[in-house]
Amino acid sequence: MDRRQFIALSVAGAAAPLLRAGSAFADTKYPAGNIRLLVPYAAGGVVDAVARNWAERMRQPLGTLVVENQGGGGGTIGAATVARAKPDGYTLLFGDTSCQIIAPYLMLRPPYDPTKDFTPISMIATSSTAIVVHPSVPATNLAAFVKYAKEHQDKLSYGSAGTGTVTHLAGELFKQLIGAPKILHVPYRGAGPGLIDLVAGVLPMMTPNVTSQVLAFHRAGKVRILAVCAPQRLKAAPEIPAATESLPGMVVQLTCGVLGPAGLPQPVVDQIAGITAKVVQDPGFNQALGAAGLEARSDASPTGAREFLVAERKHLLPIIAAAGLKPQ
- pTM beyond 0.85: the answer is yes
The pLDDT tens digits along the chain (328 residues) read 454 444 444 444 444 434 433 333 344 589 999 999 999 998 988 899 999 999 999 998 998 899 999 999 889 999 999 999 999 999 999 999 999 999 999 999 999 999 999 999 999 999 999 999 999 999 999 999 999 999 999 999 999 999 999 999 999 999 999 999 999 999 998 899 999 999 999 999 999 999 999 999 999 999 999 999 999 999 989 999 999 999 999 999 999 999 999 999 999 999 999 999 999 999 999 999 998 889 999 899 999 999 999 999 999 999 999 999 999 8
> pLDDT, tens digit, for every residue of 159-188?
999 999 999 999 999 999 999 999 999 999
User: 151: Cβ–Cβ under 8 A, 6 or more apart, which residues?
Assistant: none
> pLDDT, tens digit, for every residue of 58-95?
998 998 899 999 999 889 999 999 999 999 999 999 99
Cβ-contact 18, 278 below 8 angstroms: yes
Q: Calculate helix-pair angle for 283-291, 46-62, nearest 10 degrees.
A: 170
Angle at 262 between CA 259 and CA 267, to 5 degrees: 75
| Burial (Cβ within 10 Å: 0-12, 13-18, ≥19) of residue 53 | buried
Q: What is the 3-state secondary structure (H, E, C) of the chain?
A: CCHHHHHHHHHHHCCCHHHCCHHHHCCCCCCCCCEEEEECCCCCCHHHHHHHHHHHHHHHHHCCEEEEECCCHHHHHHHHHHHCCCCCCCEEEEEEHHHHHHHHHCCCCCCCCCCCCEEEEEEEEEEEEEEEECCCCCCCCHHHHHHHHHHCCCCCEEEECCCCCHHHHHHHHHHHHHCCCCCEEEECCCHHHHHHHHHHCCCCEECCECCHHHHHHHHCCCCEEEEECCCCCCCCCCCCCEHHHCCCCCCCEEEEEEEEECCCCHHHHHHHHHHHHHHCCCHHHHHHHHHCCEEECCCCCHHHHHHHHHHHHHHHHHHHHHCCCCCC
Closest CA to 76 of 50, 95, 55: 95
Angle at 311 between CA 228 and CA 209, to 5 degrees: 25
Go through the domains of the chain in sequence order and give each one's CATH number: 3-126+253-322 (3.40.190.150), 130-245 (3.40.190.10)
Gap between the Cα atoms of 217 and 92, Å rounded? 36
Closest CA to 162 of 186, 130, 132: 186
